[in-house]
């Protein structure tokens, strides 16, 4: 079984976390923190450092700057969304966190379930 971490920390501590996590047995991380490549060259450099450290430590990354991961079938809500989807048979994966939260809001209002929701950044995994 994998040990996962959810990082919602300011940018510099995310880099330290990616260095220390392998020592604690962490195999995967969801980085919902923002302030990386979208801020320009310095943010891109920091993002690349986090990714390099994660790869060196054998950590799979989702993010950074993502909504997170939700699996209503097992009650996992590793997002900053205000609620969890109802269980169902449809999975959603989107580049857009705004689209996913709009679908989540709609699905809760209409009582439509889903199996999995994730916003995956291009640098992920």
Q: What is the pLDDT of residues 23-66, one digit of tens each?
A: 778 888 888 888 888 889 998 998 898 889 889 888 888 888 88
**pLDDT of 41:** 95
CATH of the domain at 20: 3.40.50.720
Element (H, E) at 72: none
**Once rounded to an integer, what is the mean pLDDT over residues 6-11?**
60
- pLDDT of residue 89 exceeding 50: yes
Asked whether residue 57 falls in the same domain as residue 103, the answer is no
How many domains are there within the chain? 2
Domain boundaries, position 114: 68-119
Asked whether residue 54 falls in the same domain as residue 8, the answer is yes
Asked whether residue 11 falls in the same domain as residue 46, the answer is yes
Q: Whole-angstrom Cα distance, residue 102 to residue 90?
A: 15
Per residue in 14-26, pLDDT (tens digit) is 656 666 777 778 8
Asked whether residue 55 falls in the same domain as residue 25, the answer is yes
- Is residue 124 in some structural domain? no
| Entry pTM | 0.71
Asked whether residue 50 falls in the same domain as residue 8, the answer is yes
Neighbours of 68 (CB within 10 A): 22
Asked whether residue 92 falls in the same domain as residue 56, the answer is no
**Once rounded to an integer, what is the mean pLDDT over residues 9-13?**
58
Neighbours of 17 (CB within 10 A): 21
- pLDDT of residue 96 exceeding 80: yes
- Is residue 47 in some structural domain? yes
């Amino acid at each position: 079984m994998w040990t996962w971490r959810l990082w919602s920390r300011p940018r510099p501590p995310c880099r330290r976390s990616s260095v220390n996590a392998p020592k604690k047995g962490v195999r995967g991380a969801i980085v919902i923190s923002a302030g990386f490549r979208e801020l320009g060259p310095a943010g891109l450099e920091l993002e690349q450092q986090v990714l390099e450290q994660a790869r060196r430590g054998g950590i799979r990354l989702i993010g950074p700057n993502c909504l997170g991961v939700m699996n209503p079938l097992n009650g996992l809500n590793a997002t900053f969304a205000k609620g969890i989807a109802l269980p169902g048979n449809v999975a959603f994966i989107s580049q857009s966190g705004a689209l996913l939260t709009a679908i989540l809001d709609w699905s809760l209002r209409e009582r439509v379930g889903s199996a999995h929701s994730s916003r995956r950044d291009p640098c992920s995994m």
